[in-house]
Amino acid sequence: MTIWINCFKNENKTNDTQPIYKNNKLTVQEDTVLKAGTIYQVAMWKDDSKVDTHGNPLKMVKIKIEENTYEKPEEEEAPF
């Protein structure tokens, strides 16, 4: 399961307690559950590839959340 979330630059930010990026209209396509005790990896990318209705680049970030499938190699025993 991979979850993608787009957050847009908060152009109306008036103080440091408000978020820099946000999304007020997040809609998911299917029910999503994060399982307790499961390790997830989270990544964030800057994305300037989209434009608004006036042709100006949208200031946004993409956030990806997915279950961590990396398996840590078993540690070898010390030879002494």
pLDDT digits (tens, 9 = 90+) for 15-59: 999 999 999 999 988 999 999 999 999 999 999 888 988 998 889
- In 3-state terms the chain splits into helix, strand, coil percentages (rounded to 5) of 0, 35, 65
73 domain-assigned? no
> Within its chain, how far is the Cα of 54 from the centroid?
26
pLDDT exceeds 90 at position 69 = no
Expressed as residue numbers, the domain containing 15 is 2-67
- Residue 76 pLDDT exceeds 90: no
* Total number of domains constituting the chain: 1
Tell whether 18 is covered by a domain: yes
> Is 59:9 a contact under the CB 8 Å cutoff?
yes
Is residue 74, in this structure, part of any structural domain at all? no
Asked if residue 61 belongs to a domain, the reply is yes
Whether residue 76 lies inside any domain: the answer is no
Q: What is the pTM of this model?
A: 0.72
Would residue 52 count as lying in a domain? yes
Is 75 part of any domain? no
The DSSP bridge pattern shows strands 21-22 and 2-9 to be antiparallel
